[in-house]
Chains A and B, each alone.
Chain A
């Protein structure tokens, strides 16, 4: 069930009405809704999610009780979760890579038996939530003893498929407040859902054909220099609007049920350094990687060379998390090297807050981000090569985009930057609402407008969210 589908438009209000109508069983309603949501895609995999929830609940209790060999227990539990993830996501990839390696190095043709399993939706996200839960209990947090509360944390439908990756210390206590309906939070939730749908339908899906056409041309072996930059810019905007739109809808849906989910984006395309970008992009993932990979590796309190290694390893894993393909690993590696160099050079080029420095930092950072997106989006390394060659001026024969396309793509990017700056400054105009008899008429007209806009912008079924595949 996609967030931008008619099914969700029916499902969400029904779940909301039931949730607030049965005060004694709100958590049960949430659980049922979450499984209906997941099972609408695949009932067997919904059963598997239940199994994983039970197992991790027991792991958590066990970790909370054992006094000896806790480290071994934690390693075993994490190995189980990573094993499930690996089986579905990386097993075939590893076999294919091994076969390709033996062919290239030894000239031996292998035909390994592949599992060809369908990747369970959201498995990368909930696996990371399980690992966070287990590691934090190992570090001294108290496990969640209530199975239903842990169950809701793990299976909560708004964040089940593509995050944000939650922290149980923030989420579970908020279950105590499900007895209260917060008008302001619900209103904020509706606003977030509207904003998310607009980002997805009006912007991401409009930008997608250009990005697809451009990267498909690169796969076919040729793209012009201007086209290469424009389609990469189009993709960078598409993935931002797509994923941040998804996150807005997830956070908005959660808010309707009284839950505050942390933000995932904070104006990433305003970042003026590589490290700054990861403080603003997919924040729940970057903080997870920081807490559960980077810091355990030693973090930044080590020799410079070790810190650089830690950064590279962390980002390589971050890249691999996005997908079982070498171009994702390369994307992570590029970011790792970039962040390592940033760490190395930062003391020499200490940030000065002068405008020229900020602008130069912004330009360099965003160029790096764009080059990174080429690795992220391209279908193969040969198409990455075609794209990057074109971007440095060795473009081939193609004229994919017209002046109108350029106007829309660059205009959208500029509008995004301006809107982000305006929002961060808090410059919004508050319109006076009508009073007395005109007030219900105003709200009725506003509701009609929302229904019309929602009907018109509803997807036609072709537009899935990009991050669902991870």
Chain B
């Protein structure tokens, strides 16, 4: 306290500015309860005020749909944001689903420029896999009524060792029942979390609220005219960076691509489900940097063959625009720059036009 006084006097502060040190003797009791009891007449109205405010915000902001209809995001690369965007764009006739190769490689606007197939929506998200893509597509069909779903299927999606694993990303896409059906039931903490999220939308939708807050920063708002497409900033196409990515790819996907793998089975079942709903399906094979073919060619070529075999078995057309992009169009090993996405999207539009003349 004495030291604070010295500082205070020495700095000659104006009156309203005071040291942040308690200058009154502290109230001490044997427990907090007598203090609560002594203030019971104030605590009641305080709790009532608190509850009224929370319920009012829940009803007026979240349950009324005001938040979703006015939501802006800064980045559409995760499922929750994609679902929120989809709810605001129910007019999509073509849905693009898959992982980040689709997210960064297909610009629905550019597709629509070369194809009379109606507006599209890119619902792909980073680090997706056949299980999450499948679940995401099902959820999207609650908002969208597409005529066509284009599924991105990469060589690693048909790898023999691919398995579903629980993750935070999965919790964004899958319901607790779906998680349980996939062999990863929610633990107690996750169930409490889900319950909490149901009761309080501020908690349940915190990811979106954080996105909205981020979108308020200058130039951070996602341009919704891009309809789900996302251009990853920066570049990582140096020789050493590409080599390191190939090493990672080999480590993460050590299995052998096969048309009978678990990922392929999930894609088959998604195709069947979409057809049953009267929705046409196409498979998109993603362009991959030539460096990957140089250093991991056997895996990728077997993967390409497995994806094509899957398409033939399921009688699904394959959209292959790999020749439309050049080496300079890659941002890194697996993702296209904006220029590359424009080229691939124009090509996708041309191929869709041929596939769906009507």
Q: Which A residues form the contact surface with B (CB < 8 A)?
A: 5-7, 10, 20-21, 23, 179-186, 188, 217, 219-222, 396-402, 404, 408, 423, 425-430, 437, 439-441, 443-445, 447-448, 451-452, 455-458, 460-462
Contact = CB atoms under 8 A, between A and B. Distances in A.
Interface stretch (B40-48, B115-123, B289-297): B40-48
A447 B50 contact: yes
Residue of A186, A402, A452 contacting most chain B CB atoms (<10 Å): A452
B24 to A, nearest CB: 8
B301 to A, nearest CB: 24
Given A180-B30, A222-B240, A455 B200 contact: yes
A396 B168 contact: no
A359 to B, nearest CB: 20
Contacts of A430: 16, 18
A462 B168 contact: yes
Given A220-B241, A425-B7, A404 B218 contact: yes
Nearest to B248: A220
B244 A451 contact: no
B11 A425 contact: yes
A414 to B, nearest CB: 16
Contacts of A217: 236, 241
Contact of B238 (A219, A396, A402, A404): A396
Interface of B: 4, 7-8, 11, 13, 16-22, 24, 26-33, 35, 42-54, 57, 168, 171, 189, 192-193, 196, 200, 202-203, 206-207, 209-210, 217-220, 233-241, 243-245
A444 B46 contact: yes
A181 B30 contact: yes
A428 B13 CA distance: 10
Contact of B50 (A399, A404, A451, A458): A451
Contacts of A181: 28-32, 35
Residue of B17, B57, B171 contacting most chain A CB atoms (<10 Å): B17
Contacts of A461: 168, 171
Given A423-B20, A447-B50, A397 B30 contact: no
Contacts of B238: 220-222, 396-398
A222 B241 contact: yes
Contact of A441 (B26, B49, B57, B209): B49
B50 A445 contact: yes
Closest 4 CB pairs of A and B: A444-B49, A221-B240, A184-B26, A426-B19
18 contacts: A6-B189, A7-B189, A23-B31, A180-B29, A180-B30, A181-B32, A183-B27, A220-B238, A221-B240, A399-B234, A426-B8, A426-B13, A426-B18, A427-B11, A440-B49, A448-B51, A456-B202, A461-B171
A428 B241 contact: no
A219 B238 CA distance: 12
A7 B191 CA distance: 11
Contacts of B241: 217, 220-222, 397-398
Contacts of B31: 20-21, 23, 181
Contacts of B8: 426
A10 B192 contact: yes
A328 B15 CA distance: 49
Chain A interface, DSSP helix/strand/loop, else mixed: helix
B48 A444 contact: yes
A256 to B, nearest CB: 10
Given A440-B42, A460-B207, A183 B35 contact: yes
Contacts of B218: 404
A21 B36 CA distance: 13
Contacts of B236: 217, 220, 222, 398, 400
A408 B52 CA distance: 36
A5 B188 CA distance: 13
A125 to B, nearest CB: 24
A50 B118 CA distance: 66
A347 B43 CA distance: 61
Nearest to A398: B236
A448 B50 contact: yes
A183 B34 CA distance: 12
A188 B26 CA distance: 11
B28 A182 contact: yes
A23 B33 CA distance: 12
B22 A184 contact: yes
A414 B138 CA distance: 46
A185 B234 CA distance: 48
Contact of A445 (B42, B49, B210, B217): B49
Nearest to A191: B20
A458 B32 contact: no
Contacts of A402: 233-234
Residue of A7, A220, A445 contacting most chain B CB atoms (<10 Å): A220
Given A426-B20, A427-B13, A458-B203, A220 B49 contact: no
Contacts of A445: 49-50, 53
Contacts of B50: 444-445, 447-448, 451
B36 to A, nearest CB: 10
A408 B219 CA distance: 12
Nearest to B17: A427
Contact of B206 (A219, A397, A456): A456
A396 B154 CA distance: 30
Nearest to A224: B234
Nearest to A405: B233
Nearest to A221: B240
A447 B21 CA distance: 23
Contacts of A444: 45-50, 52-53
A416 to B, nearest CB: 17
A401 to B, nearest CB: 7
B245 A220 contact: yes
A6 B192 contact: yes
A23 B13 CA distance: 44
Given A398-B234, A428-B18, A451-B54, 6 more contacts: A181-B28, A222-B236, A399-B235, A437-B45, A443-B42, A443-B46
